């Protein structure tokens, strides 16, 4: 947290002053759910397998398809592994320098959850904990944050809530187990004091999902990308988690 918007999101330069939220803009959608990509980073075979496994989750549960780019694809996502963290731009951009997913190795490819998370950003999705209705489900213990995250501008950059006109929920329930949810301890000074506090009673060690999709993630993708109802949804662990 701290370097990028919401911890792992890169903003196109004109948006740095006032975040432009793709959720309300159809131009950020990849047409027909098809995302051409190229892998230009120096990944090991094991790391490539994790990337392809993450892509296959989209194929299994949604109508979104990550496909190898061809010379006819004007816009495409480049997947790289620069030593600058795990991050993505949001949605389909008109300039390919901003259609980028960075997966620093090995940290970002220890499991499928992180590449799935960054791919969802590339599809146009923000984090679960910044939804307009998040105050019904979590509170933020600002005093538990590291000192370097306490300044108002840095706090707002990482934990600011989306406006109702900017962030759509698609009438899909908030989910602590979403692959787009951060850990309880994101930016925490200590594991003794969590930053994100659930308002609904849960008996789980942490938030998020390092293994990939929760049911609500799939529902959101299929709703936004107008997928058919034939795609099955992963079974949730509980109404609030999984």
CA 17 remoteness from chain centre: 21
**Mind giving me the DSSP string for 57-91?**
HHHHHSS-EEEE--TT-SS-EEEE--SS-EEEE-S
121 labelled as ligand-binding? yes
Q: Provide the phi-psi class of 171: left if phi over 0, else alpha when psi is between -120 and 50, else beta.
A: left
Residues forming a β-bridge with 78: 38, 100
CB 130 within 8 A of CB 157: no
CA distances to 7, 28, 133, 239 from 82, rounded to whole Å, are: 16, 25, 35, 38
181 labelled as ligand-binding? no
Q: Give catalytic residues, as residue numbers.
A: 118
**Mind giving me the DSSP string for 141-156?**
-GGGB-GGG-SHHHHH
Distance of alpha carbon 36 from alpha carbon 23, whole angstroms: 20
117 labelled as ligand-binding? yes
Q: What is the DSSP letter of 217?
A: H
CA 77 remoteness from chain centre: 15
Residues annotated within the binding site for Zn(2+) are 117, 121, 127
Residues annotated within the binding site are 117, 121, 127
């Amino acid at each position: 947290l701290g370097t990028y918007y919401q911890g792992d999101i890169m903003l196109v330069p004109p948006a740095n002053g006032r975040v432009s939220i793709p959720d309300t803009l159809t131009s950020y959608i990849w047409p027909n759910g098809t995302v051409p990509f190229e892998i230009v980073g120096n990944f090991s075979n094991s790391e490539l397998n994790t990337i392809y496994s993450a892509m296959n989750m989209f194929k299994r549960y949604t109508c979104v398809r990550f496909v190898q780019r061809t010379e006819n694809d004007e816009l495409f996502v480049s997947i790289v592994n620069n030593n600058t963290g795990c991050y993505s731009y949001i949605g389909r951009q008109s300039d390919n320098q901003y259609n980028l997913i960075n997966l620093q190795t090995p940290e970002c490819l220890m499991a499928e959850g992180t590449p799935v998370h960054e791919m969802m950003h590339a599809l146009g999705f923000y984090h679960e904990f910044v939804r307009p209705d998040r105050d019904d489900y979590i509170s933020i213990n600002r005093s538990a944050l590291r000192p370097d995250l306490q300044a108002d501008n840095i706090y707002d950059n990482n934990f600011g809530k989306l406006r109702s006109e900017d962030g759509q929920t698609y009438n899909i329930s908030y989910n602590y187990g979403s692959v787009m949810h951060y850990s309880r301890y994101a930016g925490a000074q200590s594991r003794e004091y969590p930053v994100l506090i659930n308002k609904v009673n849960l008996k789980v060690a942490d938030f998020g999902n390092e293994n990939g999709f929760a049911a609500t993630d799939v529902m959101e993708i299929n709703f936004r990308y107008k997928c058919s109802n034939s795609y099955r949804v992963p079974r949730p662990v509980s109404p609030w988690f999984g």
